[in-house]
Copies of this chain bind each other. A is one copy, B any other.
Amino acid sequence: MSITVFVTGGTFDKEYNEITGELYFKDTHIREILDLGRSLLKVDVKKLILVDSLNMTDKDRAEIVQHCINAKSKHILITHGTDTMSDTAKVLASQNISKTIVLTGAMIPYKFGSSDGLFNLGCALAFVQVLSHGVYIAMNGKYFRWNEVQKNKESGKFEKIKL
C-alpha cells in the first residue's frame, strides 16, 4: 500500500522567526516527523502550498481537489490548518472521489517541541490505511466523517455535530 501526503501548511509546519518574532513557513517537516516515528510506510510527500488555513482560497481548494483526483494512490492524507479544515473537507466530499482522504493538522507547531503533531500524524496515517472510501478529519485521537465535525474555536477541540 502506498500513501500520498499532500502538504498545505497550517500550524503543523509553522516556525518561529527569531529576528521578527513572528511565526512563518519555511518548509514542511512531514518527512522529518515520519523519520522520527521510524515510519516504514511507502509515503509520497508532495508540498502543494504552505499557508495558514484562514488564508486558503477557493483556488487553493480547487487545486487540492484536482491533486486528490489525479493521485494514483487510493489513500490520501492532507495536512491542513485546523481553522478551515472542515471547509476543505466539504469541498473534497462534493467530488465523490473513490479514495480514502484523511485531513489532519496540529494545534502546536511541530518545531516547538511539545507539539500534538507527531501524535496526530500517527493517528491520521493509521486511519487512512484502514478506513473505507470517503473524506475524514482525524484530530484529538478520533476520526470524523467530513460532515459530522466542527472545530470549537474557543476550546480548540474538534466536536461532533448533529447531522
Listed in ascending order, the chain A residues whose CB lies under 8 Å from chain B are 11, 16, 18-19, 21, 23, 33-34, 36-41, 52, 107-109, 111-116, 118-127, 129-131, 138-143, 153-158
Provide a sorted-by-A list of 11 A–B residue pairs whose CB atoms are within 8 angstroms: A19-B153, A33-B119, A41-B140, A41-B141, A111-B114, A113-B114, A119-B122, A122-B122, A123-B126, A126-B143, A130-B131
Are A141 and B34 in contact, CB atoms less than 8 angstroms apart?
Answer: yes
Q: Which residues of B contact A11 (CB under 8 A)?
A: 18, 21
Q: Are B108 and A125 in contact (CB under 8 A)?
A: no
Give the one of A19, A21, A141 with max B CB within 10 A: A141
Q: Which B residues are CB-close (under 8 A) to A139?
A: 38
Chain B residue with Cβ nearest A33: B119
Q: How far is the CB of A16 from chain B (nearest CB, A)?
A: 6
Q: Contacts A21-B23, A122-B121, A126-B138: A116 and B40 contacting too (C-beta < 8 A)?
A: no
A39 — which chain B residues lie within 8 A by C-beta?
Answer: 119, 140-141
A125 interface neighbour in B38, B41, B113, B123, Cβ under 8 Å: B123
Across the interface, which residues of B come within 8 angstroms of A122, CB to CB? Answer: 118-124, 126, 141
Min CB–CB distance A75 → chain B (angstroms): 12
Top 9 nearest A-B pairs by Cβ distance?
Answer: A122-B122, A113-B113, A37-B119, A126-B126, A39-B141, A40-B140, A119-B122, A18-B107, A122-B123
